[in-house]
Amino acid sequence: EGQLVESGGGLVQPGGSLRLSCAASGISFSDYWMSWLRQAPGKGLEWVANIKQDGSESYYVDSVKGRFTISRDNAKNSLYLQMISLRAEDTAMYYCATDWHHATSRRFDYWGQGTLVTVSS
Partner 1 sequence: DVVMTQSPLSLPVTLGQPASISCRSSQSLVFSDGNTYLNWFQQRPGQSPRRLIYKVSNRDSGVPDRFSGSGSGTDFTLKISRVEAEDVGVYYCMQATHWPPFTFGGGTKVEIK
User: Among residues 3 and 13, whose Cβ is nearest to partner 1?
Assistant: 3
- Asked whether position 95 contacts partner 1 by CB under 8 A, the answer is yes
User: Among residues 13 and 25, whose Cβ is nearest to partner 1?
Assistant: 25
User: Among residues 13 and 113, whose Cβ is nearest to partner 1?
Assistant: 113
- Asked whether position 105 contacts partner 1 by CB under 8 A, the answer is yes
- Asked whether position 45 contacts partner 1 by CB under 8 A, the answer is yes
- Asked whether position 60 contacts partner 1 by CB under 8 A, the answer is yes
**Helix (H), strand (E), coil (C) string for 67-117:** CEEEEEEHHHCEEEEEECCCCHHHCEEEEEEEEEECCCCECCCCECCCEEE
Closest C-alpha to 51, from 75, 39, 26, 68: 68
User: Among residues 31 and 109, whose Cβ is nearest to partner 1?
Assistant: 109
Q: What CA–CA distance (Å, rounded) separates 50 from 38?
A: 12
The one among 61, 71, 77, 78 contacting partner 1 by CB under 8 A = 61
Q: Could you tell me the sign of the dihedral formed by the alpha carbons of 98, 100, 105, 107, in that order?
A: positive
- The secondary element (H helix, E strand) that includes residue 61 is none
CB of 25 to partner 1, least distance (A): 16
- Asked whether position 76 contacts partner 1 by CB under 8 A, the answer is no
